[in-house]
């Protein structure tokens, strides 16, 4: 069966042949019959391979038969890209390097080929070669139309290498040159990655600086606010940490399940639980979430178990979730005896297993789901798109 990429290649090839035929016709009108160019033998070789279902050989032969000039330059470039996307990187490199060797291509076309070649090197894992080529291009084309694309590829490269300091530097240049929402978000996460490294080494000052740099780039970066709160918490600066955590909830209430336990710890170290409970109640009014409901129910349990149960039932009616239901059964367990208690225990275990099996986080971009929070989606590679799951099976 012919793969989709292969179908794409043939579409381009037939387009190439059509262009070649049109050009040949227009030229043949001007030339005497004796001067007509004969059809290159590579063309027949390609046709033969195609008829014998030898698709790779057919493509090679067609590429060889196609002359490089200003009309066919784009076709060569597209073919090279198709080879790269198909995973045939060596062929892509071969096409792009042959194009570079042609004396007739313009300076602009040369830049276009070099960009494609850099992508080929990256796909082949030749990161050093890609880096050298891109850095050389970046230094010689500061004002050219290709500069943002060169910087963007360099950022891709440093992101892949996890060279966060370089990614921060080039990412900063890129958003000055061509600011886009996606690049701004990505740059903020690079600052956070750097901050996380400093945090691990207990270099608090540098960690704070990097998290703040992330917020300067993207004021909506919830990861940076949570990170700052973690650093402040590590320095026993609980009041400041609480402010940051409250700010994080304002930035993105979807992360409430991450924030509530941290907030609880900080409040316990300074003001006891009154401010904490007030905050939970206010947030639950604004946007109900299981983490808030459970934290409140646990607090009410300490003083009034009956009220805690009533509260939980009322909240579950408005905001039904598996986790809430599990907690309700847990509360009921103490009220029952004998068989009823045993039945409830079985039910509790079943729901607990169901909750444990469910994914906690999901990418809002590609749907990838998992048990861990990844700031960069492992599937689509977007930053900040994986969030806690809400609804019946989540928050």
**Which residues are documented as binding site for Fe cation?**
363, 366, 377, 380
What is the C-alpha separation between 326 and 245, in angstroms, rounded?
27
Task: Decide the pairing of beta strands 361-363 and 386-388.
Answer: antiparallel
> How far apart, in whole angstroms, are the C-alpha atoms of residue 266 and residue 245?
10
What's the rounded Cα separation, in Å, for the pair 64 and 89? Answer: 17
Phi, psi at 303, each rounded to 5°: -115, -35
Q: Which residues are bridge partners to 376 per DSSP?
A: 383
Q: Which residues contact 391 (CB under 8 A, 6 or more apart)?
A: 321
Other CB atoms within 10 A of residue 90 CB:
10
Least spacing, CB of residue 248 vs Zn ion, in Å: 22
Q: Residue 375 Cβ, how far from Zn ion at the closest point, in Å?
A: 12
**Shortest Cβ distance from residue 289 to Zn ion (Å)?**
22
- List, as residue ranges, the binding site: 363, 366, 377, 380
State how far the alpha carbon of 225 is from the alpha carbons of 44, 45, 64, 302, in Å: 65, 63, 57, 31
Cβ at position 392, least distance to Zn ion in Å: 22
Whichever of 260 and 363 has its CB closer to Zn ion, that residue is: 363
CA 63, chain centre distance (Å) = 35
* Minimum CB distance to Zn ion smaller for 45 or for 185: 185
Question: Which three-class secondary structure state does DSSP give residue 387?
Answer: strand
Q: How far is the CB of 378 from Zn ion (least distance, A)?
A: 8
Shorter beta-carbon distance to Zn ion: residue 333 or 366:
366
Query: What are the helix and strand counts (H, E) for the chain?
Result: 19, 3
Are the beta carbons of 159 and 151 closer than 8 angstroms? no
Q: Which residue has the tokens 């290159």?
A: 40
If the CB atoms of residues 284 and 382 are measured against Zn ion, the closer one turns out to be: 382
DSSP string, 360-382: SEEETTT--EESS--SB-TTT--
Q: In this complex, which beta carbon is closest to Zn ion, that of residue 7 or of residue 380?
A: 380
> Residue 79 Cβ, how far from Zn ion at the closest point, in Å?
30
Residues binding Zn ion (CB under 5 A): 363, 365-366, 368, 377, 379-380
Name which of 23 and 366 has its Cβ closer to Zn ion: 366
Between 56 and 376, whose beta carbon lies closer to Zn ion? 376
Q: Are 62 and 43 in contact (CB under 8 A)?
A: yes
The nearest distance, CB 263 to Zn ion, in angstroms, is 28
């Amino acid at each position: 069966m012919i793969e989709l990429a292969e179908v794409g290649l043939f579409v381009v090839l037939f387009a190439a042949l059509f262009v070649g035929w049109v050009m040949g016709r227009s030229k043949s009108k001007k030339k005497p019959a004796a001067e007509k160019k004969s059809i290159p033998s590579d063309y027949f070789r390609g046709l033969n391979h195609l008829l014998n279902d030898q698709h790779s050989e057919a493509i090679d032969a067609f590429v060889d038969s196609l002359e490089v000039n200003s009309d066919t330059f784009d076709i060569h470039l597209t073919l090279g890209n198709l080879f790269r996307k198909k995973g045939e990187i060596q062929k892509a490199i071969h096409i792009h390097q042959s194009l570079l060797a042609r004396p007739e291509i313009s300076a602009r076309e040369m830049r276009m080929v070099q960009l494609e070649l850099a992508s080929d090197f990256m796909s082949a894992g030749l990161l050093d070669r890609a880096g050298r080529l891109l850095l050389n291009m970046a230094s010689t084309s500061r004002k050219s139309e290709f500069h943002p694309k060169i910087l963007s590829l360099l950022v891709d490269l440093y992101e892949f290498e996890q060279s966060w300091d370089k990614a921060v530097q080039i990412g900063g240049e890129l958003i000055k040159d061509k600011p886009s929402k996606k690049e701004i978000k990505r740059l903020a996460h690079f600052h956070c990655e750097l901050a996380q490294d400093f945090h691990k080494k207990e270099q608090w000052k540098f960690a704070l600086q990097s998290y703040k740099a992330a917020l300067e780039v993207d004021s909506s970066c919830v990861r940076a606010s949570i990170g700052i709160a973690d650093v402040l918490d590590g320095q026993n600066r609980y009041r400041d940490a609480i402010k940051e955590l409250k700010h994080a909830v304002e930035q993105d209430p979807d992360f409430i399940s991450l924030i509530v336990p941290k907030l609880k710890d900080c409040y316990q170290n300074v003001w006891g639980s009154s401010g904490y409970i007030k905050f939970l109640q206010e947030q639950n009014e604004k946007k109900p979430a299981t983490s808030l409901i459970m934290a409140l129910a646990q607090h009410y349990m300490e003083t009034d178990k009956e009220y805690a149960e009533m509260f939980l039932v009322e909240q579950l009616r408005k905001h039904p979730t598996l986790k809430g239901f599990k907690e309700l059964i847990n509360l009921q367990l103490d009220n029952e005896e004998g068989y009823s208690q045993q039945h409830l225990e079985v039910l509790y275990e079943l729901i607990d297993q169901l909750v444990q099996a469910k994914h906690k986080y999901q990418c809002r971009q590609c749907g990838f789901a998992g048990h861990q929070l990844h700031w960069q989606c492992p599937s689509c590679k977007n930053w900040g798109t994986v969030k806690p799951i809400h609804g019946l099976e989540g928050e």
